Chain A
Amino acid sequence: MKKTISALLSLLLAGVMAAGCGSGDNGSSEDGQNGGEKKVAISFWALNTGWEWLEPAVKDFENANPNIDVELTQYEVDPIKEALKVAASSKTLPDMWFTWGGTLGSFYPENGLTMDLTQIAKDHRWSEIYNKAAIDMSTYDGKVSGIPVHLNVLGMWYSKNVYDKLKLQAPKTFAEFESQLAALKNGGVVPLAFGSKGGWHTMRLTEQLIEHFAGPELHDKLNRLEASWNDPAVIKAFEKIQEYTDKGYFPKGYSSLDPTEAESLFYQEQAAMINEGTWFDGNIMENGFDPNNYDVFKFPNDQTPSRASVFAEMFQINGGSSPEKQEAAVKLGEYLTRPEVVNKYIEQYGSPATLNVNISEKTPHLKTLLDSAGDGAFLITDQALPQEVVQKLFEAQDKLAFHEWTPQQAAEAMDEAIAKYKSK
């Protein structure tokens, strides 16, 4: 009798534990009925900072489409990159997600994880709705793989107060830019507000230095891995990173500073310049400051054409979701990027990929930056290069700052990383 009870208890315990270990409902798979029309629930992952408009816009969408429920999850920059990779590996990608272009976003279409939107793009006439460059940057291997959201252009933002106090104006040449760095430093202000934790913030300066020394043609070849990075132009760019660090043009300890900490120095006018993009008016307002107290200039790389760094952002749709969820997700993505919605939230929206939208007075620098890409543009480096090579560039930036590597060694390390990547 005792043995039987022991055995039964053990089995019961095992059963309860097994039931408890079963996967719960993740909230996005429930589809129900809504007054006869089948209700569809979709999961959507997007960014957090700078995307404050998204939640009310999604609510507007749900009100307009009562048969669609959207489970929105918002992340910061690095966490969403990691969450998507984890989800891809574990086959738990959401129905729709935000991603950047280039090699940050290519992983998903390259591995068959995204829905091919080419036919939808044709049928829905996306060429009349979205900027062509944005559609091109959302296309991989001939297939449109994302709904374009933003076309971002980067520039050097500066504090008007700081510049006025030191009687400076936006530089037109590289030599002028460098003389301003010295003037700012002598004036008691940190010239360059960069935080290198994660590497991508300082990279925005490094790529402009490479554009300056290498020129557009070589720069593009470097990013396509068609030219050696052990090149005098690259070495000179790396020398500048080292020189600017030694001269104290970056904040103290910038190698481990989070970009948001560098941004706070910029708002406090302890630092003069920061490299940010078309979304930055929104950041300034979000932090309680007036965008009119700041201005922006195209980095003076002395090249012809003088190109700006650009990147696109898009919504990708899960290729493995059911047709109903895919249809709902496409509907949501197109809704969030239609001119009426963009115009409604234009003050916070950032730089839309959508054509024919208004520009708000509260984002006075958006047009300036968009126009600055008129002469030409290059894809931002951390999207142009494979991620392992990008990581090596980030390592090189840090090691140059500490003189652990010479510029020559950094250039050689880049070539080694490229060779290793190509041998994969």
Chain B
Amino acid sequence: MKIAPTRFDKGENRMTARALKPWLFLLPALTIYLIVIFVPSLYTFYLSFFKWNGVAADKVFVGLDNYADLILHDSVFARALKNNLLWTAGSLILMIGIGLMLALLLNKRIKGRIVFRGIFYFPYVLSGVIVATSWAWMYNPTQGFVNKLLETIGLESWTRAWLADPETALYAVFIAALWQGVGQPMVLFLAGLQTIPHDPYEAAVLDGAKPYQSFWYITFPLLRETLVIVVATTMIASMKVYDIIYAMTGGGPAESTQVLSSWMYYQTFKFANIGTGSAISFFLVLITMVVIIPYVYYTTKRSHL
């Protein structure tokens, strides 16, 4: 005997359908994410426990040896990790700081601000190789713009072989990356600043607030969500930096500008040590996750939304 659905049954079905709906819409992106990112990442993690040259039929299981070798015996890995941390610190402080300053400036009603926004954003659309090639020539010790400029303004003692000195090479490359990358946080902050209403500022001025007070007590808190995104994306980008370093210095001189991505590339594609390269990539994932996930979770929880 067929029993007619009760009001309660219909409610339950509606709830199930409502719960399933978001997953249906997420399904295409989730499928692509699983196929293109998650599964290959798992496979890479699996390979990190083997010695393998990438093409041979047999892989030799070595357990955690690849990881142990990197930590205990590979001085270039240690250097690369240190460089990545320095790069991340520089990115978080300078790239975000300068991006924010430019956004604040270009949010004001100044003449030609749209042109200036384009000028500051333009380097970001260039490929890393183009930026690297241009800056490598600018840093040329005898014919480059940087040293010629220093000579012209009477600072000849400051001239040096910027990319050839292990003390300065990484920082020289970072400046090129800063020039290229500052446009992205600037644009994101500009978008965030557009959403802040004028009323709190007017009220603050009436109360006698100074500009820095307006920034600290109004602008900065209301930019929190934007800041979360900018910090997260900057941190991720800095951990996986590769092309500009490889193109400008190849990781040299004397492996002094190697970062985890470039050393992973060397191990995997120059030396055919797939297991070691995979282990490096997983270190990268681990470090990034350990920092990013708690940060995003914590700051999102504190968000006023």
Contact = CB atoms under 8 A, between A and B. Distances in A.
Identify the interface centre among B21, B32, B255, B271: most chain A CB within 10 Å of its CB: B271
A89 B28 contact: no
A62 interface: no
Interface string B136-176: 10001110000000000000000011111110010000000
Given A197-B249, A198-B250, A402 B166 contact: yes
A256 B55 contact: no
B253 to A, nearest CB: 4
A85 B253 contact: no
Interface string A75-113: 000100110011011000000000000000001000111
B34 interface: no
Given A395-B255, A398-B253, A424-B51, A253 B271 contact: no
B270 A89 contact: no
B31 A255 contact: no
Contacts of B252: 196-199, 255-256, 394, 398
B270 A85 contact: yes
B140 A395 contact: no
A253 B255 CA distance: 15
Contacts of B32: 17-18, 21
B164 A111 contact: no
Interface residues on B, range: 35 or more
A86 B55 CA distance: 11
A249 interface: no
A82 B270 contact: yes
A256 B253 contact: yes
B221 interface: no
Interface in B17-33: 17, 21, 24-25, 27-28, 31-32
B51 A253 contact: no
A78 B265 CA distance: 13
B1 interface: no
B270 A402 contact: no
A398 B51 CA distance: 29
B28 A13 contact: yes
B133 to A, nearest CB: 10
Given A111-B56, A253-B161, A402-B253, A261 B28 contact: no
A255 B161 contact: yes
A331 interface: no
Contact of A255 (B24, B253, B269): B253
Nearest to A397: B254
Contacts of B28: 10, 13-14, 17
B272 A85 contact: yes
A99 to B, nearest CB: 14
A251 interface: yes
A307 to B, nearest CB: 28
Contacts of B76: 395
Contacts, number: 117
A82 B56 contact: no
Contacts of B142: 251-253, 265, 270
B36 interface: yes
Interface string A281-324: 00000000000000000000000000000000000000000000
A120 interface: no
A387 interface: yes
A128 interface: no
Interface in A255-287: 255-258, 261, 265, 270
Contacts of B36: 21
B135 to A, nearest CB: 12
Contacts of B271: 387-388, 391
A404 interface: yes
A254 interface: yes
Contact of A81 (B162, B169, B270): B270
Identify the interface centre among B21, B24, B76: most chain A CB within 10 Å of its CB: B24
17 contacts: A6-B25, A10-B27, A14-B31, A82-B269, A86-B269, A88-B54, A111-B55, A196-B253, A253-B142, A255-B164, A256-B249, A257-B164, A398-B252, A398-B254, A398-B255, A402-B253, A424-B51
Interface of B: 17, 21, 24-25, 27-28, 31-32, 35-36, 51, 53-56, 73, 76, 136, 140-142, 160-166, 169, 249-250, 252-255, 265-266, 268-274
Given A17-B28, A199-B252, A255-B254, 19 more contacts: A6-B21, A21-B36, A78-B250, A85-B270, A197-B249, A251-B141, A251-B142, A252-B164, A254-B164, A256-B163, A257-B164, A387-B270, A388-B271, A391-B270, A395-B255, A398-B166, A399-B254, A402-B166, A402-B254
